Chain A
Amino acid sequence: MTQAKRAPKRQPISENSEWTFELLETYDKEIARIAKEYRLDTYPNQIEVITAEQMMDAYASVGMPISYHHWSYGKHFLQTQTHYQRGQMGLAYEIVINSDPCIAYLMEENTMCMQALVIAHACYGHNSFFKGNYLFRTWTDASAIIDYLVFARKYIKDCEERHGVDAVESILDAAHALMNYGVDRYKRPRPISAEEEKQRQKNREEILQQQVNDLWRTIPTAEKSQEAKEKRFPAEPQENLLYFLEKNAPLLKPWQRELIRIVRKLAQYFYPQRQTQVMNEGWATFWHYTLINTLYDEGLVTDGFMMEFLNSHTNVVYQPSFDSPYFSGINPYTLGFSMMSDIRRICEHPTDEDRYWFPELAGSDWLESIHFAMQNFKDESFVLQYLSPKVMRDMKLFSIMDDERKMHIHIDAIHDEMGYRTVRENLARQYDLSYREPNIQVYSVDVTGDRSMTLHHYRQSNVPLNDDTTEVIKHLRTLWGFDIYLHSINEQGKTIKSYSCTRNSVDQSEQLELNEHQI
């Protein structure tokens, strides 16, 4: 192992801002060495240098190195391209993929300093988060994702050849619309692997179809008919809509079920990322800051390098206040970085306040504590556990109550002794996915009648559904094949609003009738 020499005189790795592959390697080696001293456990890194055009390609396919073809990716690509070419936006410095080896893209336009920042941020920050955090450990399989994408791409391409692009597209469109409702929230999914997938897929097709046929068997069973009427299907409300459709939609062909499954698997893969945005970015930002500063302390980088680094870092963690025209919600980089840095501060230099609020944390080994925090929390619980009064004061967080029935917006709590707990609880709730997304469940299916499906939306604090709803239930109908009813129910159990998508059976036309009525 290389021993960390504390050079009395600066002996920087490079003096100017041009990067070369040799320099990248040297920086990576140094950063890796320091990361190891901080006990960052990572997947091997695969650092890929790409051009701006390739970065736009990567953007378009949600960062994945390969993906199936779909018009929506083309739309994102055109959007990025148009904006970038007209100078309306810059591209991200980096994209990192939760895979083993961990793939990180560096843009060739970046300066040496930026490349070092990105290596520290992505290859050691995000990478160790992917490997360490419990959500990623339980829900995603980093070694299999690339293989699975290869399988998915091939499968969808074959389907397009066999059934036509339009047929495939309509299923994918519908599945994408319900993607956020394709996640098992409490059950760990089976690990995915492309090889097994291919073999299992054949068997599954047949078995699945059999089961579906069984459910929809029309030959009446004389004795049980009375009982069947009483029995509700599904027995329990289902929140994983895509899973329910994949397994139970009566008219889908086996390949269509497989397409839904692919979208579902991708949703599952991205699910942890959606739940750990603050932590993930905070962790990566904290480590690029710490790693590069250590490089500086060892005299390996110049003052100019450091100035550029701090400039970029400051841009990343800039938080406009709520009344600024640039405000677009709480910047996850800022919140995450502040909280991570604060954990270190509490461990190393606790105040009396910290000792009162975080008795176990104050004075403990900071490296131990921060690793523990990274491994065992998601945004919601992380905020609830670690948001300290100091961070709330620094960010001047305050909580408002916005009730449409009242004239005024009510200020609940601010960053003071009275309000810390309320602000913290409300902020944590803001990161709770089940609170951020409407709670929609399959309630019942009219198995013996017209096969229509009824869903319930359970309102929280009477917050209604958005205007897309009618479009989404059209997609639902595409997959289910029969009429859809969606009732929006308030906390008192009263139906406030109903949506439906039915086929007009009178004139036998293909026209769908969309209904939306307020009760």
Chain B
Amino acid sequence: MSYIIDRRLNGKNKSMVNRQRFLRRYKSHIKKAVTEAVNKRSITDMERGEKISIPTRDTNEPVFGHGQGGARHRVLPGNKEFQAGDKILRPKGQGSGGGAGEGNASNQGMGEDDFSFYISKEEFLDYVFEDLALPNLVKKTLNEHDAMEYRRAGFTATGTPNNLAVVKSMRSAQARRIALTATSRRKLKELTAQLQEEESKDKDLINPTKLAELRDKIAKLEEKIKRVPFIDTFDIKYRNIIKEPVPSTKAVMFCVMDVSGSMTQQIKDMAKRFYILLYLFLQRNYEKTEVVFIRHHTSAKEVTEEEFFYSRETGGTIVSSALELMADIIEARYNPAEWNIYGAQASDGDNWDDDSPQCAQLLRDRIMPLLQYFAYIEITPNAHQALWRAYEDLQGELGDRFAMEQITGADEIFPVFRDLFSRKSLKEAV
């Protein structure tokens, strides 16, 4: 007796939970791999999965077993020239005999091989953004938008005739009619039955008084039912349409970086990672994200990504030139009503001394009114210079929307990034 069952349409992801358990257990390994991958990838090339490798010895499930050594018999197939009593040299590299039988052939065959598998792009980004308090920032920024959208929100009792919900109104009218006439109709049914019974009786047995009485009652009830209005004012329903603020779906991110002689490739790499994080965050929250790269030494220039990160320049440093260019570009191309504008500036802190007050001035008057958020990171192990102090004053005035942090090494980027964004959530909570 056999039953044949087609299971092909049953879920195929039965191992999903186990897979998650595995990822959970090796989180630290995966996080490390993800961090390394972030460093290697281009700024806009984050939207794909990643191959993760974990040393086999870490994923090994240990069991008691025979080790190498000792004396043992083995039976092997495929004898060609051996005779009993022969002595052969032990094959090199194989140790003594491998293991007795198949029993020992475990997964540790190749000692050095890594255990590799792939994670999807969502999982990849999850690991990148884990622990970062990003959603709070999203909520806050979304509220600040001017664009409104009308959307349906159920029904209401008041409204204009063009919003009249006919079907809904008729439905509630009918419900009301059924409810209000229920008792009367039940009585009517009873009386009609009695009347019929009375009428069907033999002529001599009919009681004329009762007949008249019944007819009278029936007439009254019918009248009563009729009096219930077909439609009443409180049956009328209107479609409820409300105004809701919608987030603008476009965002632009300005990456401003100092490329003067004092900025080494190492500092630029750190800045790049910071930009990657910001870019990813924006991309996850907006339909369209543009990136504008501005680099500067004594004069500023809009450049491509490649040029931004890898071309070498030397010269002095005038930060205000970049900020000015940024303000010009915003005015020319990005209307603040349509675009969410984010700025991120990375520098080693060097600036022409007289320029720093001007930078603060520029930010305060021209740029910050147009921006969602501006983050300044200073990548230097040294003491702060004029630019930092000028910005510090600015932070006091602008509060949440302006953030600044100092980074001394690559390992600080995640914490600093988290710090920049989690600060908001803290204030919100208070």
Cβ of B152 under 8 Å from chain A: no
B14, A54: Cβ atoms under 8 Å?
Answer: yes
CA distance A77 to B59 in the complex (A): 13
Q: Which of B6, B72, B90 is in CB contact (< 8 Å) with A407?
A: B90
Number of A-B contacts (CB under 8 A): 282
- 0 or 1 for each of A421-432: is its CB under 8 Å from B? (1 = yes): 001001101110
A46, B73: Cβ atoms under 8 Å?
Answer: no
Q: Which of B2, B63, B101 is in CB contact (< 8 Å) with A468?
A: B63
Cβ of B15 under 8 Å from chain A: yes
A interface residues with partner B (beta carbon < 8 Å): 21, 24-25, 28, 32, 44-51, 53-54, 56-57, 60-61, 69-75, 77-79, 81-82, 101, 105, 108, 123, 165, 169, 173, 176-181, 319-324, 327-330, 332, 395-405, 407-416, 418-419, 423, 426-427, 429-431, 433, 435-438, 440, 459-469, 471-472, 475
What is the interface of chain A mostly: helix, strand, loop, or mixed? mixed
Minimum distance in angstroms from B62 CB to a CB of chain A: 4
Given A46-B5, A329-B101, do A74 and B20 touch, yes or no (CB 8 Å)? yes
A32, B118: Cβ atoms under 8 Å?
Answer: no
Q: Which of B5, B73, B82, B118 is in CB contact (< 8 Å) with A414?
A: B82
Q: Which residues of B contact A462 (CB under 8 A)?
A: 69-71
- 0 or 1 for each of B1-38: is its CB under 8 Å from A? (1 = yes): 11111111010111101111111110000000000000
B interface residues with partner A (beta carbon < 8 Å): 1-8, 10, 12-15, 17-25, 59-80, 82-90, 96-97, 100-105, 115-118
Q: Which residues of A contact B10 (CB under 8 A)?
A: 50, 54
B75, A438: Cβ atoms under 8 Å?
Answer: no
Instruction: List 5 A-B pairs, minimum CB-CB distance, nearest first.
Output: A321-B78, A74-B22, A463-B70, A74-B18, A468-B62
CB-nearest residue of chain B relative to A31?
A: B2
A322, B17: Cβ atoms under 8 Å?
Answer: no
A45, B3: Cβ atoms under 8 Å?
Answer: yes
A77, B19: Cβ atoms under 8 Å?
Answer: yes
B77, A321: Cβ atoms under 8 Å?
Answer: yes
Q: Which of B6, B7, B82, B89 is in CB contact (< 8 Å) with A398?
A: B82
Minimum distance in angstroms from A192 CB to a CB of chain B: 23
A54, B101: Cβ atoms under 8 Å?
Answer: no
A397, B77: Cβ atoms under 8 Å?
Answer: yes
CB-nearest residue of chain A relative to B77?
A: A395
Given A45-B2, A180-B64, A405-B71, do A51 and B12 touch, yes or no (CB 8 Å)? yes
Q: Which residues of B contact A323 (CB under 8 A)?
A: 78, 80
CA distance A81 to B10 in the complex (A): 19
CA distance A68 to B253 in the complex (A): 47
B64, A77: Cβ atoms under 8 Å?
Answer: no
A71, B18: Cβ atoms under 8 Å?
Answer: yes
Q: Which of B3, B61, B66, B88 is in CB contact (< 8 Å) with A177?
A: B61
Given A77-B15, A440-B64, do A464 and B70 touch, yes or no (CB 8 Å)? yes
Q: Which of A50, A328, A397, A426 is in CB contact (< 8 Å) with B8?
A: A50
B8, A54: Cβ atoms under 8 Å?
Answer: yes
Q: Which residues of A contact B89 (CB under 8 A)?
A: 407-409
CA distance A415 to B84 in the complex (A): 9
Q: Which residues of A contact B101 (CB under 8 A)?
A: 329-330, 430-431, 436
A472, B64: Cβ atoms under 8 Å?
Answer: yes
